[in-house]
Amino acid sequence: MIMSTSKKKVLLSGMQPSGALHLGNYEGALRNWVELQNTGKYDMFNCIVDWHALTSGFESTEMLVPRIYEMAADYIAAGLDPDKTAIFVQSHVKEHAELHLLLSMITPIPWLERVPSYKEKVESLGLDSYGFLGYPLLQAADIIVYRADVVPVGKDQLPHLELTREVVRRFHYLYGEVFPEPEALVTKFQVLPGTDGQKMSKSYGNFIALGDSPDIVKTKVMSMFTDPAKIHKTDLGHPADCPVHIYRTIYDSSLPADLADKCSAGDPSVGCVGCKKALLAALVEYFKDFRERRMVLLSDKAQLDEHLKRGAERARERAAETLRLVRSAMRMFKPEI
């Protein structure tokens, strides 16, 4: 049983089950979550936000359940421990929805419309649903329903968290203090390019998934973008801009210290094909244990269900306490029920 303690700060994080987790997700979030868990400083809630996945994927829900299982397996295989961290599915904790509804009554629409990602996605994806407009507010509810003290985020997510803080201040002005104002735990992480040199994205299909088999990894690595200016081995290279070299600096423990210098100088002993083969070997070895743990987890859905059930029980306990405080502060009918 996971024991909660008031001596620790409460931390909330989550990801959408919108497809296979890839190296960018690992470096940008998952690796950091595991490190934060292992410090022992936080009472951690790590959510699989399935309601959020519906804001853009509402027309095709047949893969939602399989992706939830895959994400749960990825979380645990990467090192999140269900005995230390509450791992759960958002829709299993109905208090998220209730708090979102209550917050929607006090949040001005212009606050939601000014969130940068809303404007971008309305233009690029044509999304204009009520649920998509309210996405940042549901995200706020996800955070403050646990009275989270900290939220690990990248710089691009700071506007979402600032909206949460504004909503908290407005609630406190109207009804009195209930929540802490969550602080951003801005994390430094390696931003990985996609295999084609663009931003890594599922929509671009330029990612290497954490659960990819060695054969699939081979296909992706050997077709990776390198350096268009380096056609021959003796051409001057630009390793800082080469995805293969960037990946090797992270995952290849045997990377020669002088490789970048040799590549830049056009040393004929350094070639792109050789670098790809070295990266392939490094990736297969680096994620070997992860893949084995992931396969075991996905072969036993009952065990995954148990992990998610225990996580949801702990999450509901914390969230239910928050909603009792909220109903009381708002002077609603019989808030103790």
| Tally of CB atoms within 10 A around 302 | 6
Burial of 83 (0-12, 13-18, 19+ CB in 10 A): exposed
- Round to whole Å and give the CA distance between 238 and 96: 48
**What tokens were used for 231?**
């056609």
- Round to whole Å and give the CA distance between 297 and 159: 36
| Pairing of the two strands 85-89 and 150-153 | unpaired
Active-site hit among 9, 84, 121, 218: 121
Cβ contacts of residue 297 below 8 Å, gap of 6+?
72, 73, 76, 77, 303, 304
Active-site hit among 9, 84, 202, 277: 202
Q: Is 121 a catalytic residue?
A: yes
Residue pointed to by tokens 């801009």:
241
- 151 contacts 118 by C-beta, under 8 angstroms: no
Active-site hit among 8, 94, 155, 199: 199
Report the run of H or E that residue 14 belongs to, with start and end: strand 9-15
Would you call 89 helix, strand, or coil by DSSP?
A: strand
- Round to whole Å and give the CA distance between 86 and 165: 23
The catalytic residues are: 121, 199, 202
